[in-house]
Structure 1
């Protein structure tokens, strides 16, 4: 009986009672802010973990393009949206794949799978320029290979007839409309990435790192629902580049700059907003 009573006491005091958000308990500095990554880190080039992370980004982006572009091809092959998964299915394919792939690769490379995400995290000094450039190169190569495999399955004529999954500003919208849609869409995604991986939230709520891929994938899903009718939804320069290179038609290149400039501006705005407004990092540093 004495041992049992002792177990009860230990169990009762082992975990602190959670307090509601917004209370004084949340102001405690119960976390450690990671130091800013160096701009250049040549030592990474001698580390296997550096190359392993790049390979993980390549494979993840390859699988991302393979599944999503095949889904787009399937919808366009169908005689009507009602006889296929439709726009909602395409959005679920993109969001679902990001959810799965971020879950699989987060512990290896951080699960970026997107040059815009890498760029935003670089601006926040979460990774070095060396690693950021390497990630972006591997992401673009993976996207090209993924789209290439889809073309191999579909055949040249069929692939070109169905548009190759390439991003273009759709009829009825201007380049400005497309640029704005890409900026806002990428802002939503990158802001979600920052929020889902925030050091303070990770320390306060132990379940946050486990659930992080879910809001990120859901953000991708929602952005696709909103902007597929405008641009087909890029918000990922590697995805747009891979499809454009394999499709290689003039209409895929006419507006291609939109799918690099827009996501990079959106990612930069999200990084600035989260670091300066939400986290107030510069003001903490001065203090």
Structure 2
């Protein structure tokens, strides 16, 4: 295994997460509904943790990588490489979803979007920026706290199960608010392709999930200040 394998794994994992989650929202959202989309994200992450966890830890989320950096499990250089790989993977995944969506007669990315996140008029429930910020911070903090907990000194063998279930839960919480980000790499690709409002509001889904990741990391350190896990 080369030193670049972990970055390839993070890119692949993020691409698959976007294809599985965003793809379900775009291609089958009307059929499966909120619960189906939430399960698609959660089950995709669950599978990726089992497949890629032994390779890279399967962060596939810059907010999770930030938390690993803050808790001392990862160097800054490695974290930067992870984040870059995740963004690239997310964009590739979004391009794949877009290629699939264009096969539907009448699809228009400027009208139908690509599962991008948004607030105000771009929110499914027209939620305010403040509401979206709170949801993203809280939901991401919960996800990160679970990830750190099940991969820490008292880790469980089937870590993918609680991680995947948590991602499904936070999607059930937030889909109706802002289509759920909790992951900047998940948000970047769809926003770049959709353009317009999705792109102008992208900063929200970079800033607040990262703040949530930091909050989750600090909460974890407050509960378990001694972390014996070696850095990935």
In structure 2, the CA distance between the partners of 1:211 and 1:159, relative to structure 1 (3 Å rule), is: farther
**In the alignment, what sits opposite 2:142?**
188
Distance in 2 (CA, whole Å) between partners of 1:235 and 1:246 is: 19
Point out where structure 1 has 5 or more consecutive residues left out of the alignment: 1-47, 79-83, 203-207, 283-287
- State the structure with bigger RCO (CA 8 A, min sep 6), 1 or 2: 2
2:220 matches 1:279: no
**In the alignment, what sits opposite 1:64?**
17
Point out where structure 2 has 5 or more consecutive residues left out of the alignment: 228-232
**In the alignment, what sits opposite 2:181?**
234
**In the alignment, what sits opposite 1:153?**
100
**In the alignment, what sits opposite 2:230?**
none
**In the alignment, what sits opposite 1:103?**
50
Please, what is the CA RMSD of the aligned residues? 1.6
Give every structure 1 segment of 4 or more consecutive aligned residues whose post-TM-superposition deviation is greater than 4 Å: none
**In the alignment, what sits opposite 1:28?**
none
**In the alignment, what sits opposite 1:267?**
213
Shift of 1:75: 3.5
The two structures have a TM-score, normalised by structure 2, of 0.90
1:1-287 to structure 2, matched below 5 A, reads 49-76=2-29, 78=30, 84-155=31-102, 158-160=107-109, 161-169=111-119, 170=123, 171-199=125-153, 201-202=154-155, 208=156, 210-248=157-195, 250-275=196-221, 277-281=222-226
Distance in 2 (CA, whole Å) between partners of 1:56 and 1:178 is: 30
Shift of 1:151: 1.1
Bigger-Rg structure (1/2): 1
The two structures have a TM-score, normalised by structure 1, of 0.73
Shift of 1:269: 1.0
